Amino acid sequence: MDISISQPALKWFINEMSVSDGDYIRFFVRYGGHGGAQVGFSLGVSSQDEPFEPVAKTTIDGVTFFVEKKDEWYFDGSDLHIKYSRKKEEIEFLLQ
């Protein structure tokens, strides 16, 4: 599993979540929401956790983005791509 983040999405994280060099962003499975890869679940985002048992991670401009092993099932072998939607003015998650 790989994680990729577009530059506009990175800029969103910096501006909206006030992350900077040395910070972490965790993508985790949460119950509820819509548009998820698994019915009844969606992705959550946290800047409060450091990697414990990451199954995937990438660092861009000093910010480490990661998914823990316990959430790997949600992705069903897909890679996570994060982009910014100018139309919606928010980030979007794509699994491919």
Instruction: Give the pLDDT score at 41.
Output: 76
- Which amino acid is present at 6? S
Confidence of residue 35 (pLDDT cuts 50, 70, 90): low
Question: Cα–Cα distance between 89 and 87 in angstroms, integer?
Answer: 6
Contact 74, 38 (CB under 8 A): yes
Residue spans of the domains in the chain: they are: 3-95
**73 — phi, psi (to 5°)?**
-55, -35
pTM to 2 decimals?
A: 0.90
pLDDT at 57: 96
Task: Report the percentage of the chain scoring pLDDT > 90.
Answer: 78
Q: What is the CATH number of domain 3-95?
A: 2.60.300.12
Q: How far is CA 96 from the centre of its chain?
A: 14
Query: Which of the four pLDDT bands, split at 50, 70 and 90, describes residue 30?
Result: confident
